[in-house]
């Protein structure tokens, strides 16, 4: 299981609520980050995104832009009701939460003290973890198997592959409720899956090689 603690960023960039929007914009640009946790006396009190900062900024060309950016405090534009993650959360749960909430990061806090900031996990971190989970960096090949969506079908297909003498590195499974089928993508430890494809096809499955 991939956990948040493995993929989160621990080397945090934070600001206080009294920091200026100008300071926050400079920090985002120099550190190439999009989200800054806001802390006060070591406690998480909010989060600000580059979008929040841009929305609070006067238009480019405004004569008072520079002075206004110095005057506006981060505490005035930050999000105070912050969704957070626990370091023990599975990465797929975090991915689902980010997707449902339409957010790009989650501060990571301690279970015993929900204001103690431990790190931050971003959509980029989640993407890297899911790519690893799918086995894409590993050598080998991928095949797509379509079969009836019924109980035990994944174990059945995997058993057929075991009989064919091929190792499975990872598998992704997608039920298609509209057609009552299930699509399974297997990452195999082999350079040429032709024999596996032939065997599974003879067993009655619809199989294709994912190039």
pLDDT at 60: 80
Look up residue 63 and give its two tokens: 């004569």
Place of tokens 């024999």: 195
Kindly report the backbone phi and psi dihedral angles of residue 103, in degrees, each rounded to the nearest multiple of 5, phi listed first. Answer: -125, 160
- Packed helices 194-202 and 153-163: angle between N→C axes, nearest 10 degrees: 130
Domains of the chain, each with CATH number or no CATH: 4-131 (3.10.580.10), 136-210 (3.30.70.260)
pLDDT at 114: 66
Kindly report the backbone phi and psi dihedral angles of residue 118, in degrees, each rounded to the nearest multiple of 5, phi listed first. Answer: -105, -25
User: Is this prediction's pTM over 0.85?
Assistant: no
Question: In which band, very low, low, confident or very high, does the pLDDT at 137 lie, cut at 50, 70 and 90?
Answer: low
Question: In which band, very low, low, confident or very high, does the pLDDT at 84 lie, cut at 50, 70 and 90?
Answer: very high
Strands 113-122 and 141-148: unpaired
Mean residue pLDDT across the chain:
89
Look up residue 186 and give its two tokens: 């297997």
Please give the DSSP secondary-structure letter assigned to residue 80. S
Q: For residue range 55-68, what is the model confidence (pLDDT) as tens digits?
A: 988 778 777 888 88
Question: In which band, very low, low, confident or very high, does the pLDDT at 186 lie, cut at 50, 70 and 90?
Answer: very high
pLDDT at 72: 94
């Amino acid at each position: 299981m991939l956990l948040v603690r493995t993929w989160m960023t621990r080397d945090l960039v934070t600001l206080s609520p009294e920091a200026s929007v100008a300071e926050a914009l400079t920090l985002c640009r120099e550190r190439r980050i999009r989200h800054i946790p806001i802390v006060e006396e070591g406690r998480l009190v909010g989060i600000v995104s580059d979008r929040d900062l841009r929305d609070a900024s006067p238009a480019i060309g405004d004569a008072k832009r520079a002075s206004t950016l110095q005057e506006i405090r981060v505490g005035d534009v930050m999000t105070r009701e912050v969704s957070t993650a626990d370091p023990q959360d599975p990465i797929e749960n975090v991915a689902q939460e980010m997707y449902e909430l339409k957010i790009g990061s989650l501060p990571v806090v301690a279970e015993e003290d929900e204001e103690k900031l431990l790190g931050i996990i971003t959509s980029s971190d989640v993407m890297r973890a899911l790519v690893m989970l799918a086995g894409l960096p590993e050598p080998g090949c991928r095949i797509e198997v379509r079969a009836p969506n019924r109980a035990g079908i994944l174990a059945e297909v995997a058993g057929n592959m075991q009989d064919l003498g091929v190792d499975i590195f990872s598998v992704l499974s997608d039920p298609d409720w509209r057609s009552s089928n299930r699509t399974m993508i297997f990452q195999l430890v082999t350079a040429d899956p032709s024999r596996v494809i032939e065997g599974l096809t003879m067993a009655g499955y619809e199989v294709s090689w994912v190039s």
